[in-house]
């Protein structure tokens, strides 16, 4: 093959490799593989590789017909080609480091060393443009190897090899399959160095493109697996939430409460007809609120939750009369929470705290807004209990567990219970701001 035909073919292959890299770059944006830090760095790797190939291809065309006037453009293009190559190696090292960091935190010291060596290599290439220690050009414009040409090749071997060492060092973190894929970026160019005697374009251009294709495939597969796991996790959470809704509503609509409420309303019918009508309305609101919660998968406003709670308490007030006092200290209203979050706590306060006091007691419901969360407190001055001891009273106590589960699934909220025998009980709900699973209904 003639010399100029060889150069034109090298330029064509580099342009083809640049097109392949550009397709991967477009794929990264379309499939949003750049969300993670490693993904963003990989995008920059592809940009550097594409730029290097597009800058390097014209050099081969200019060298196809050597001329003295081509020397300066070739030197300029060569420097930028080497600059993009050094940037690529450094970015690849950081990309690999971030990839490992997503699984286990590691130091950047080794990666910073690779970057420093890349900087030294680039400075030496800049010096070469003036003294020709790596490559110089004769009077006809033909390139010739300089006295320190082997030093440039040493950098071409050492820098990719250092990324191989980084991958092997943490093979136990990323797994052997992924280790070999990341290693190939350094291994393929290093193994192709001997071919450079016959074809100089192979090691630094074509081989690195093949390596990046493999890494792109790895990221693509892992992204698909990650999305599948997220969908599976969301489906499991939705199922858990649905089951929690059903069990919570069923636990709230207990036969003894229905019987007591209806009995109280019956007694009012003859002596206080208007109060009986209001009680029937409250009873209807209470049932509707509970039944609506079975199909509710989104957060509701605190105002709606408060209305439902007041319907429940109005029925309990009929039963307990002056033995039950309810106080409200509402300092925050404009937030959302899972449905049926407060009622189970108030019901516990009534049934397990106040009802056992001969003189009755008081329940206080308060809300407050903090810089990063909303807080709801349900306090009573009842008999209290030992939080370290599971009550043995024949009841299922499913309400508290479901409230905790729903708070965690729907808004990453928490529920804490503070109690002591003879001193009452306080339930504290914390709802973080802007951290809800349902972004359309965050606090």
Q: In this structure, is residue 103 part of a structural domain?
A: yes
Let me know whether 227 and 324 are in one domain.
Answer: no
Residue 139 and residue 67: Cα distance in Å, rounded?
8
Cα–Cα separations (whole angstroms), residue 20 to 51, 415, 435? 12, 54, 40
Q: What is the CATH number of the domain that holds 322?
A: 3.30.565.10
Q: What is the CATH number of the domain that holds 183?
A: 1.20.1070
- Give the DSSP letter of residue 259: H
Q: In this structure, is residue 237 part of a structural domain?
A: no
Question: Across-strand partners of 376?
Answer: 367, 429
With a cut of 70, which residues of the chain have pLDDT below it?
Answer: 1-4, 31-35, 189-190, 192-207, 219-262, 266-267, 270, 287-297, 387-399, 435-443
Burial degree of 394 (CB within 10 A; 0-12, 13-18, 19+):
exposed
Let me know whether 379 and 435 are in one domain.
Answer: yes
Strands 300-301 and 135-137: unpaired
Residue 296 and residue 245: Cα distance in Å, rounded?
8
Q: Which of 231, 265, 282 is the last residue of a domain?
A: 231
Residue with tokens 């480091």: 97
Let me know whether 194 and 277 are in one domain.
Answer: no
The DSSP string of 136-150 is: EE-TTS-EEE-TTHH
Instruction: Work out how many domains the chain is built from and give that number.
Output: 2
pLDDT computed for residue 395 by the predictor: 46
Residue pair 283/261 in contact by the 8 Å Cβ criterion: yes
Cβ neighbours for 417, distance < 8 A, ≥ 6 positions apart: 387, 400, 425, 426, 427, 428
pLDDT computed for residue 156 by the predictor: 80
**CA proximity to 135, closest of 69, 88, 200:** 200
**What domain range is 421 assigned to?**
253-441
pTM over 0.95: no
Let me know whether 227 and 271 are in one domain.
Answer: no
Let me know whether 191 and 264 are in one domain.
Answer: no
Q: Which of 199, 231, 263 is the last residue of a domain?
A: 231
Residue with tokens 């036969």: 255
Residue pair 185/203 in contact by the 8 Å Cβ criterion: no
Let me know whether 203 and 287 are in one domain.
Answer: no
Let me know whether 149 and 295 are in one domain.
Answer: no
Let me know whether 329 and 410 are in one domain.
Answer: yes
Let me know whether 218 and 258 are in one domain.
Answer: no
**CA proximity to 425, closest of 344, 338, 319, 308:** 344
Residue with tokens 């008999």: 383
Q: In this structure, is residue 352 part of a structural domain?
A: yes
Instruction: Report residue 62 as tokens.
Output: 């200019």
Q: In this structure, is residue 245 part of a structural domain?
A: no
Let me know whether 190 and 309 are in one domain.
Answer: no
Q: In this structure, is residue 26 part of a structural domain?
A: yes
Q: In this structure, is residue 241 part of a structural domain?
A: no
Q: In this structure, is residue 246 part of a structural domain?
A: no
Q: In this structure, is residue 343 part of a structural domain?
A: yes
Give the dihedral of Cα atoms 91, 93, 95, 101; nearest 10 deg.
-140
Let me know whether 280 and 188 are in one domain.
Answer: no
Let me know whether 266 and 220 are in one domain.
Answer: no
């Amino acid at each position: 093959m003639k010399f100029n035909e060889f150069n034109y073919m090298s330029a064509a292959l580099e342009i083809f490799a640049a097109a392949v890299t550009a397709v991967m770059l477009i794929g990264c944006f379309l499939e949003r593989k750049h969300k993670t830090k490693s993904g963003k760095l990989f995008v920059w790797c592809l940009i550097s590789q594409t730029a290097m190939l597009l800058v390097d291809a014209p050099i081969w065309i200019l060298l196809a017909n050597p001329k003295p006037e081509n020397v300066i453009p070739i030197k300029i293009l060569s420097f930028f080609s080497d600059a993009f190559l050094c940037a690529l190696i450094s970015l690849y090292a950081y990309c690999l480091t971030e990839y490992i960091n997503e699984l286990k935190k590691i130091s950047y010291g080794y990666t910073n060393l690779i970057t420093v060596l890349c900087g030294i290599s680039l400075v030496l290439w800049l010096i070469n443009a003036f003294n020709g220690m790596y490559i110089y050009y004769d009077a006809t414009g033909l390139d010739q190897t300089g006295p320190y040409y082997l030093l440039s090749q040493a950098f071409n071997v050492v820098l990719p090899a250092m990324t191989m060492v980084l991958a092997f060092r943490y093979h136990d973190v990323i797994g052997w399959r992924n280790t070999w894929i990341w290693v190939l970026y350094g291994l393929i160019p290093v193994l192709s160095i001997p071919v450079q005697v016959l074809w100089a374009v192979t090691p630094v251009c074509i081989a690195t493109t093949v390596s990046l294709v493999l890494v792109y495939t790895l990221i693509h597969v892992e992204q698909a697996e990650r999305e599948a796991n997220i969908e599976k996790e969301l489906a499991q959470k939705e199922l858990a939430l649905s089951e929690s809704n059903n069990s919570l509503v069923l636990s709230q609509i207990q036969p003894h409460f229905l019987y007591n409420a209806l009995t109280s309303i019956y007694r009012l019918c003859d002596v206080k007809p208007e109060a009986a009508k209001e009680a029937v309305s409250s009873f209807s609101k209470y049932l509707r609120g509970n039944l609506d919660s079975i199909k509710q998968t989104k957060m509701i406003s605190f105002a709606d939750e408060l209305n439902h709670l007041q319907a429940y308490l109005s029925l309990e007030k009929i039963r307990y009369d002056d033995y039950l006092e309810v106080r409200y200290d509402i300092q925050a209203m404009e937030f959302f929470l899972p449905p049926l979050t407060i009622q189970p706590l108030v019901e516990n306060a009534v049934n397990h705290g106040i009802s056992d006091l001969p003189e009755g007691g008081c329940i206080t419901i308060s809300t407050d807004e903090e810089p990063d969360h909303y807080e709801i407190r349900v306090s009573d001055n009842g008999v209290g209990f030992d939080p370290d001891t599971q009550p043995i009273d024949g009841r299922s106590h499913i309400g508290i567990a479901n409230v905790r589960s729903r708070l965690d699934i729907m808004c990453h909220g928490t529920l804490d219970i503070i109690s002591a025998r003879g001193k009452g009980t306080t339930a504290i709900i914390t709802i973080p701001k802007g951290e809800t699973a349902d972004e359309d209904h965050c606090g």
